Structure 1
Amino acid sequence: METSSPPPSSRPTPRGARAVFWLWFGLRDPVGRRVYLVTGACLMALKYALDGLLVYATTREIWSPAAYLSPVFQLRSQTVPDAPTWMFIAMAVMTLPFMWIGVSMSVRRAATAGLSPWAGLVFLVPVLNYLGMLVLAALPDRGDAWHPEPTTPYRAPGPQKRLPLQIEGMLRSALLGVVAAVGAGLAMAGLSVYALGLYGLSLFFVTPFVMGAVSAFLLNRPAEQTLGKTVSVACVSVLIAGGALMLFALEGLVCLLMAAPIALTVSVIGAVIGRAIAIQTRTPSQHVAACVLALPGLVGAEAAVVAPPLHEVVSVVEVDAAPEKVWANVVDFGELEPPAEWFFHTGIAYPVRARLEGRGVGAVRYCEFSTGPFVEPITVWDEPRKLAFDVAKQPHAMREWSPFKYVHAPHLDGSLRSKRGEFRLIELPGGRTRLEGHTWYELEMYPNVYWKIWSDAAIHAIHERVLRHVKKRSEGG
């Protein structure tokens, strides 16, 4: 008599597949150096194949393996100028499971080799991660680093060992906290910046606060951890999210460094509160998930009501020359010397030359910057007292530092908008002139009071570069 086989859904999962699953996504099974090396090489090849196919399907560009392994070489030799932003976001999303496997296996490999499991976090450090993985793969196993006890739902041949329970629980909680926080941060960046074009309070304040609170809650929920470890996990989450934005050409280093003081400070506050909630109350984990899910609604509401204010920056210099002579150098100040100021070498745009087409109201002034020209139609021509103009077109405010040639950051094109400007020449006793430069601009980045510090400083530096040049030419220097 023949017996029918059980339906596929009721058959037990093959032991080999379950073994691979727990090896990749678990946090208990030891990781030998041969398994670590072979698994790492195979997953790296798979990741390269997936990313390469995505790039080719989108841009018809081919990434060579050598370029893919070296961000610097990749940037300079393999450019994808026509790639849409969604391609880089998709690439970042595909990276998340590979990142979890790499981190979980690296911390267990470090423990198997007798090191601190925290040494496995070298996997998250760009450039050093390759060296760290080679070192972990070369170190011999240490037999006393594990406690003999079966841990997975299957029994594989040979002795079963696992991490000490205290270390295992802390690592699992820390990694879950980091992954949840990074996922929330990247999702909010995608929604706020790339979907709504908003650099608001929900992105710079609420999101890092929630990231810190979520990572701290998940770390301290199973067992109370020290405040130092809690803060460290929160800060690591913010740094990983920022690093991911840079590595996928979604942000540049300079802007990330400017945002870091806010994000790290707020994430620490969130971590302190999240830790207190975890150890002092019985708040269900669903409440934390609800906080994360509320973020999109918050950023959507902010995008609907936000309106950028208009700011004015004024810079002044006194010139030992009459207004008539100064005027001639204001309307057309010629070629400027290369900038000596260090901050202009960080990528901030700086003026190079200016020329005027026509005379009087309706003429057009072209002020060439390092990133392109400002087009400035003249609105007031009161020679030699006042020259005013609107800004009809402007280039990017800066050229980002990034391992990629092209950075897909929306704030480079429109977050800081110059609206108008003017030069005022005031006659002083003794044939001297007070020369004032005025710029009115909108800044669509929040908290405005914080980002205004950076934008005002940059515009003052631009003013002073021009005013000093006009002063030098007018005084005959």
Structure 2
Amino acid sequence: MNPCPKFLIWSLGIRVWGDSLDIRYSEVKHSYIQFTHHMKKEFVISIIISLTFLSLGFALLHYEQIGYGLSFFVFLPFALGYILGKSTTKTISLWGLIISLAIFFILLLAGGLEGMVCVLMAMPLIIIAIALGAFVKSMIKKYRNSDKQDNLIKSSVLPFCLFLTFSFIETELTKHEQFVIEVKSEIILPYSPLDVYETIKSVDTLDAEKPFLMKLDLPIPQKCILEEEKVGGLRTCYFEGGQIVEKITELEKGKILKMDVIGYQLTGRKWLGFKEAIYLFDELDNGGTKMTRITTYTSELNPRFYWRPLEKIGIEQEHEYVFSNLKKDLKNKHGG
């Protein structure tokens, strides 16, 4: 029997098998290139959408067209998470969102529009809202069992329109409502009430150990100058990022120093206002003093259950810094 036909058949089989591998390799390579291109496209689009949403939202906020409420801090990031949760490569799109957030916050800080503390305090709320939006969309896709690819740009139009609608409605209903909050701190000092009063009424230089938030960028008081020691007199406290001007409304040496805030300027904190500053001096049985510092401020931030504890921490750290400097000054003046 002639072996040539068998050899030819075997050779042709190898060639056909090899050609089949080449075709499959080409198909895989083409699919990979398409997938990579699609990933890059979605990554870029996610950055564009995120920066557009964040920038327009903050512009409306900065120019007081909308308020610091649920629409900005919750619905806007929720909408972004929901939109980018639509993408076929969700992880890539969410990375694009993370990079966009980083760029956005860096620009806010560099431009002096907001401080580091404000940004850090807002981050948990924003991240939770984004994650919730992405989770809701993933659940909807899972329930519908749909692998249909969504056009991210087209799918972002409706959520942004809803954001604008909710923001304007919320602003109209609240009318930039300001919440008035009082924060009280106390300290026991082994000095007479008059000594404590004389030391705190006017401070040439504040220099003490800074609490954690001040090491970031919470406003640091540098000095407080009392112009006239009488009702109607002005006391100006200077900060690294501005100043607060106070007018004395009640004064009894060693008893009470009560002041209304008549002017303030602090970097990037339009949502925060100051109304009143009070020092109370109570003599103790041992001759020492319990000094109470009361700050009354206003805030436009919502939701209150989230922001109020954070605001309280910030004010208390300001008090802590002033108390630390006061103890140092009293020790330098009177010993002990």
TM-score by length of 2: 0.78
Change (3 A) 1:466 1:338: closer
Correspondent of 2:133 among 270, 274, 288: 270
Bigger RCO of structures 1 and 2 (CA < 8 A, at least 6 apart)? 2
Pair 1:304-2:172 in alignment: yes
- The number of equivalent residue pairs is 302
Q: Which residue of 2 aligns with 1:210?
A: 79
Confirm or deny: 8 A CA contact 1:426 1:434 kept in the other structure.
Answer: yes
Structure 1 stretches of 5 or more lacking a match? 1-145, 150-159, 399-411
Alpha-carbon distance in 1 for matches of 2:288, 2:53: 59
Correspondence 1:357 to 2:212? no
SS in structure 2 at match of 1:378: strand
CA shift, 1:339, in A, is: 4.4
**Alpha carbons 1:333, 1:353 under 8 Å: kept:** yes
> Which whole-Å CA distance do the structure 1 matches of 2:203 and 2:51 have between them?
49
Partner SS state of residue 426, structure 1:
strand
CA contact (8 A) 2:50 2:100 kept: no
Which residue of the partner structure matches residue 309 of structure 2? 453
Deviations 1:277-314 (A, max 9, x none): 33433798777632221111111122223312111111
Deviation, 1:182, is 3.7
Cα deviation code 1:105-163 (max 9, x no counterpart): xxxxxxxxxxxxxxxxxxxxxxxxxxxxxxxxxxxxxxxxx9479xxxxxxxxxx9674
- Match of residue 248 from structure 2: 378
The alignment status of 1:247 with 2:247, answered yes or no, reads no
**Structure 2 CA distance, aligned partners of 1:324 and 1:387?**
12
Three-state SS of the structure 2 residue aligned to 1:446 is coil
Contact 1:322–1:432 under 8 Å retained in 2: yes
- 1:393 has 2:271 as partner: no
- Residue 183 of structure 2 is aligned to residue 313 of structure 1: yes
One-letter amino acid of the structure 1 residue matched with residue 61 of structure 2: S
Distance 1:349 1:308, change over 3 A: same
On the 8 A contact 1:238/1:267 being kept in 2, the answer is no
DSSP-derived class of the 1:337 partner: coil
The amino acid of 2:126's aligned partner reads A
Rg bigger for which structure?
Answer: 2
Match status 1:295 vs 2:151: no
Secondary structure of residue in 2 paired with 1:393: strand
User: 1:464: how far off?
Assistant: 1.9
CA contact (8 A) 1:147 1:164 kept: no
Contact 1:351 1:370 in 2 (8 A): yes
Helix, strand or coil for the counterpart of 1:434? strand
AA matched with 1:209? F
Matches within 5 A, 1:146-161: 147=26
Q: 1:371 to 1:319 in 2, by over 3 A?
A: same
Cα distance in 2 between the residues matched to 1:272 and 1:348: 34
Q: Distance in 2 between matches of 1:453 and 1:263?
A: 17
Structure 2 letter corresponding to 1:274:
K
Q: 2: CA distance between counterparts of 1:357 and 1:170?
A: 64
Out of 237, 242, 259, which is 2:122 matched to? 259
Match of 1:352, SS state, is strand
Deviation at 1:165, TM superposition (A): 4.3
**SS across alignment from 1:394:** strand
Rounded Cα–Cα distance in structure 1 between residues aligned with 2:307 and 2:95: 21
Q: Which amino acid aligns with 1:418?
A: F
Whether contact under 8 Å (1:180, 1:215) holds in the other structure is: no
Measured in 2, the distance between the counterparts of 1:378 and 1:253 equals 30
Unaligned runs of 5+ in 2: 1-24
Residue type matched to 2:283 in 1?
E
Q: What CA deviation, in whole Å up to 9, does each residue of 1:216-258 have, x standing for no partner?
A: 11x14xxxx6xxxx35633541441441353374555713333
**Structure (1 or 2) with the greater strand fraction:** 2
Paired residue secondary structure (2:63)? helix
- Change in CA separation of 1:277 and 1:180 when aligned onto 2, cut-off 3 Å: farther
Cα pair distance change 1:274/1:186, threshold 3 Å:
farther
The one of 42, 48, 52 aligned to 1:179: 48
Structure-2 separation of matches of 1:240 and 1:466: 38
Shift of residue 433 of structure 1? 0.8
**Quick one: distance in 1 between partners of 2:186 and 2:162?**
48
Paired residues of 1:193 and 1:199 also in contact (CA < 8 A): no
Say if 1:442 and 1:252 are closer, same or farther in 2 by CA, change over 3 A: closer
* Equivalent of 2:284 in 406, 428, 441: 428
